[in-house]
Amino acid sequence: MSVTLPELPFAKNALEPVISAKTLEFHHGKHHNAYVTNLNKLIEGTALDKEDLESIIKKTAGDASQAGVFNNAAQVWNHSFYWKCMQAGGGGEPGGALAEKINASFGSFAAFKEEFAKAAATQFGSGWAWLIADGDKLSIMKTANADTPLAHGKKALLTIDVWEHAYYLDFQNRRPDYIADFLDKLVNWEFVASNL
């Protein structure tokens, strides 16, 4: 079973002016696509060739001899998840059960937003910040490079990609501005709620 590059769930220019079509051409068309191509080459003819993406991640996590497979598989999964976390006209505050869960876990939406933005801004180098289901509550997690909550038995609800290729063409070194615009203008709260 070959892993495929998913289509973006929006037009390439749909997230402008926050994320440009040019960024998405590189980020989805080149970076994400390269992870898919590399993964398929690495698993071809192996037992992992018959596995789905989540199984590949779980079976190779923590195995140094499978680091290349894990890194590419996790990056394919992380990026596929990240695209779904955004939509044109997104952002703002969620409602319903998700809002209640955020308030119960963080005290308020503003406190969640501050903690999530801090995690994303302070992730040293490349990586991700996540909102995860952590038992009965929600919590923030950050992962370096290709690491993913899935490899730690955690359920991801929301992520932001803080690898430089996610924002550098549009924001240069202003990662905090990218994070603020992501939260205020892009988050697809319906998708996040559907992961609860």
For residues 1 and 14, give the distance between their C-alpha atoms in angstroms, rounded to a whole number.
31
For residues 122 and 119, give the distance between their C-alpha atoms in angstroms, rounded to a whole number.
5
* pLDDT at 1 (0 to 100): 62
Instruction: Extract the runs of DSSP E, i.e. beta strands, from the chain.
Output: 127-134, 137-144, 155-161
In percent, the amount of the chain with pLDDT more than 90 equals 97
Give CA separation, 69 vs 65, 77, 166, in Å: 9, 12, 22
Domain ranges within the chain, ordered by starting residue: 21-84, 96-194
Cα 147 from chain centre: 10
Q: What is the pTM of this model?
A: 0.96
Segment holding 110, helix H or strand E: helix 109-122
Q: Does 96-194 match 21-84 at the fold level?
A: no
Q: Is the pLDDT of residue 45 over 90?
A: yes
Cα 107 from chain centre: 24
* pLDDT at 189 (0 to 100): 98
CATH architecture of structural domain 21-84: Orthogonal Bundle (1.10)
pLDDT digits (tens, 9 = 90+) for 116-153: 999 999 999 999 999 999 888 999 999 999 999 999 99
What CATH class does 96-194 carry? alpha beta
